[in-house]
């Protein structure tokens, strides 16, 4: 992938197959293309060449409307900076993906809050939460609509070691419970160890690593 015909490729010669329910970690330094790869998988960016099939959809064949629907229904996103809506309570942040998919279900919201031990925070706003609490809310939001694929971009990048371990363990247990596929981008070897498979991304190329 390149951003224009006058620039060098950001990603090149990539070949990656991820099985259903697999947890894959993409290791790489800042600027290596990890976030770009996740954006491609999540239909947030469009590749200039090659084939990309995610959850049974060939993303290169989708128009913008179809790509938007694909993101809403098939992908859950977890970001380093949480990306919670500051004007909405915890509960309403979780309601949003369901509303966008036209499947409002307050019982599911309540169940997700209880599963992640967030019930006591449901009426709080993101700005009043700790980093670990915000990331747990972000995890809950990413999984609330039960997407087949979750993309996590440096999910522990702003957390201390103890909170990072808690969030990663929680992520692993949640995806195991639902058979969700996860692709996580990280610069942390320690965070990557929780994955089933690890790949290193360097200068736009992907190489499998042995655990």
Q: What is the pLDDT along the chain (211 residues), one digit of tens a residue?
A: 443 343 445 576 678 899 999 999 999 988 888 999 999 999 999 988 888 999 999 999 999 999 999 999 999 999 989 999 999 999 999 999 999 999 888 999 999 999 888 999 999 999 999 999 999 999 999 999 999 999 999 999 888 899 999 889 988 888 888 899 999 999 999 999 999 999 999 877 888 876 5
Residues 6+ apart with CB under 8 A from 149: 41, 42, 54, 55, 74, 75, 76, 180, 181, 182, 183
To which residue do tokens 């990331």 refer? Answer: 135
Residues, the chain: 211
Q: Say whether 22 sits in a helix, a strand or coil.
A: coil
Distance CA 122, CA 38 (A): 29
- For residue 2, what pLDDT is reported? 40
- For residue 210, what pLDDT is reported? 62
Residue 122 tokens, joined: 């449901």
User: Which residue, among 51, 144, 68, has the nearest Cα to 99 in the 3D structure?
Assistant: 144
**Alpha-helix runs per DSSP H in 34-81:** 34-41, 64-74
Q: Say whether 121 sits in a helix, a strand or coil.
A: helix
Set out the domains of the chain in order of their start, with CATH numbers. 23-84+131-209 (3.40.50.300)
- For residue 1, what pLDDT is reported? 42
The partner residues of 53 in beta bridges, in order of sequence, read 58
Q: Say whether 128 sits in a helix, a strand or coil.
A: helix
Please give the model's pTM, rounded to 2 decimal places: 0.88
- For residue 207, what pLDDT is reported? 86
- For residue 4, what pLDDT is reported? 38
DSSP type of residue 119: G
């Amino acid at each position: 992938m390149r951003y224009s015909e006058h620039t060098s490729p950001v990603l090149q010669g990539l070949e990656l197959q991820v099985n259903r329910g697999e947890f894959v970690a993409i290791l790489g330094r800042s600027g290596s293309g990890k976030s770009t790869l996740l954006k491609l998988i999540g239909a947030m960016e469009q590749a200039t060449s090659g084939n990309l099939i995610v959850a049974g959809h060939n993303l290169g064949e989708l128009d913008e409307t179809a790509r938007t629907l694909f993101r809403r229904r098939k992908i859950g996103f977890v970001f380093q900076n949480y990306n919670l809506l500051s004007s909405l309570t915890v509960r309403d942040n979780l309601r949003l993906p369901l509303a966008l998919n036209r499947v409002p279900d307050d019982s599911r919201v309540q169940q997700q809050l209880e599963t992640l031990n967030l019930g006591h925070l449901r009426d709080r706003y993101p700005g009043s939460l700790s980093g670990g609490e915000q990331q747990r809310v972000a995890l809950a939001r990413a999984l609330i609509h039960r997407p087949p694929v979750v993309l996590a971009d440096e999910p522990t990048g702003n957390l201390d070691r103890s909170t990072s371990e808690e969030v990663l363990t929680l992520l692993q247990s949640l995806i195991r419970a639902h058979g969700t596929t996860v692709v996580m981008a990280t610069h942390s070897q320690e965070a990557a160890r929780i994955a089933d498979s690890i790949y290193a991304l360097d200068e736009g190329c992907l190489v499998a690593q042995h655990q």
